[in-house]
Amino acid sequence: MRSTVSVIKADIGSLAGHHVVHPDTMAAANRVLADAKRQGIILDYYITNVGDDLELIMSHTRGELDTKVHETAWSAFKEATKVSKELGLYAAGQDLLSDTFSGNLKGMGPGIAELEVEERPSEPIAIFMADKTEPGAFNFPLYKMFCDPFNTPGLVIDPTMNEGFKLEVLDVYEGQSVLLNSPEEIYYLLGLIGTMARYVIRRVYRKADNMIGSVTSIERLNLIAGKYVGKDDPVLIVRLQHGFPALGEALEAFSFPYLVPGWMRGSHYGPLMPVSQRDAKATRFDGPPRLIGLGFNLKNGKLTGPSDLFDDPAFDETRRVAAIMTDYMRRHGPFMPHRLEPTEMEYTTLPTIIEKLKDRFKKEDSVKAKPSVYASKDQGMD
C-alpha cells in the first residue's frame, strides 16, 4: 500500500510573544482536520506545536502536493488565524504570505515535508520539528544518521545499509539541487552542507534500491517574502529500521546540542535543545532553539502513536550542555559569532541602519580595495 505522511507547519499567532501556540488555535485546526477525515481526504492526523509553530501531521493515500490535502492544511491555518486575531495573539497569521490558496502550499509560507512510501510490514517513522531555526539546521544530524558510522553502526554491520545513501542537496538561493553519494563523495557533501543557510539536505535515498529514507522542509521565508518575517522552523521525517537508521541511531544524532542559526529575531546562533512536548516553548532570549521528536508507526495509511522521543532522562545531559552553551553565546551580546554573518542579516533591519549612515561614511585613501573573501585560483589555501 502506498501511503503519504504530510507534515505542514505555520506560525499563525502565539501567546505572550513568540512563545507558545494557544490551545484554542489548535482546537480550531482540529475541527478542520476532523472534518477532512470524515470526508476521506485524510485517513489520520495528529496536531501539536513546537514553540509558536502549529504542526499538522496528516496521513493519506493521495500522494505529495495533493490539492485537497494542502487546502485542508490551509483552511486549518486560516481558521486558527481567525482565533488568533480574536484573542489578540501575537503575529497572527505571520507565516501565511498569501490571502488566496492556489493549488498547493509551495511558496505560500507554511513549511512542508511529505513522504510517500510503499509501506513495509512495519513502517516506523520519526518526525522532528524545530522552532527558532531554519531548514539547514537538520544538515548535521542527517549527516550523522546516514553517513557517520560512529553515530550509526548499522552502516557497518547491517548488509542492507553497506552500500550507503544518496543525499539530495538543494541550493536554496539558486533553486537547484545536486545528488551526492555517501561514502564516496562525503568531502564534497560536507563542503556544501556546512553552509547551512544556503545548502539543505532535502531528501535521502538508500543507494541499494533508491528507497527514500528522509525528507526535510526547505521553505526559507525571507527568500519568499524578501524580508525577515519570522524564522522558517523546519520539519523532518525519517524512516527507521530495516535498512534505515534505527530509532536510537536517529536520536543519537541529536545528543550533541550543535549551534544553529535563528534564535532571537532570527539573527543569532544558539544550541539546538531537544525537549519534550511539554517543554516545547520559547523562553530565554526567545529560545534557545527547540526541537521535539515524535515516533509513529504507519499501517494502512493510519498513524499509531506518538511517542514523545526526547521526554527521557537520557537527554538531560544534552539539555544541560545546551544551557551552558546558551550562557556562553549570550555573553557575546551583539557581536559575532553570536550574531549571524552579514549575508544572513540582509533580511533584518540592519540594512536600514546602513542606509541611515551611508552619507556619514568617509572614504579613506589608504583603503584601496575591498578584500576578497576567497583566495584567488592561483593562491594556495594552506
Helix (H) or strand (E) holding 83: helix 67-87
Q: What is the DSSP letter of 371?
A: P
11 appears as a binding residue in the annotation: yes
242 appears as a binding residue in the annotation: yes
94 appears as a binding residue in the annotation: yes
Q: What is the DSSP letter of 262?
A: E
Q: Strand 123-131 to strand 290-299: parallel, antiparallel, or no bridges (unpaired)?
A: antiparallel
Question: Sign of the CA dihedral 298, 304, 310, 314?
Answer: negative
Assess whether 228 carries a catalytic annotation.
Answer: yes
60 appears as a binding residue in the annotation: no
Of the residues 9, 78, 166, 231, which is catalytic?
A: 231
45 appears as a binding residue in the annotation: no
265 appears as a binding residue in the annotation: yes
User: In 3D, which of 240, 233, 230, 227 has the Cα closest to residue 347?
Assistant: 227
CB 246 within 8 A of CB 240: yes
231 appears as a binding residue in the annotation: yes
365 appears as a binding residue in the annotation: no
Assess whether 231 carries a catalytic annotation.
Answer: yes
Query: Scanning the structure block, which residue is given the C-alpha cell 485524510?
Result: 42
Cis peptide before 245 (omega within 30 of 0): no
Of the residues 9, 11, 45, 166, which is catalytic?
A: 11
Q: How far is CA 304 from CA 2, 173, 247, 358, in A?
A: 17, 38, 16, 59
CA atoms in the 13 A half-sphere facing the CB of 54: 35
131 appears as a binding residue in the annotation: yes
Q: What is the DSSP letter of 15?
A: B
269 appears as a binding residue in the annotation: no
Q: What is the DSSP letter of 39?
A: T
Distance of alpha carbon 231 from alpha carbon 233, whole angstroms: 6
104 appears as a binding residue in the annotation: yes
Of the residues 45, 46, 199, 228, which is catalytic?
A: 228
Q: Strand 290-299 to strand 273-274: parallel, antiparallel, or no bridges (unpaired)?
A: parallel
Assess whether 11 carries a catalytic annotation.
Answer: yes
227 appears as a binding residue in the annotation: no
User: In 3D, which of 95, 103, 114 has the Cα closest to residue 53?
Assistant: 95
312 appears as a binding residue in the annotation: no
User: In 3D, which of 228, 253, 224 has the Cα closest to residue 238?
Assistant: 253
Q: What is the DSSP letter of 11?
A: -
347 appears as a binding residue in the annotation: yes
90 appears as a binding residue in the annotation: yes
CB 315 within 8 A of CB 255: yes
- Annotated binding-site residues read 11, 18, 52-53, 90, 94, 103-104, 131-132, 231-233, 241-242, 265, 286, 347
- Annotated binding-site residues for beta-D-fructose 1,6-bisphosphate read 18, 90, 103-104, 132, 241-242, 265, 286, 347
What positions carry a catalytic annotation?
A: 11, 228, 231
- Annotated binding-site residues for Mg(2+) read 11, 18, 52-53, 94, 131, 231-233
- Annotated binding-site residues for dihydroxyacetone phosphate read 18, 132, 265, 286
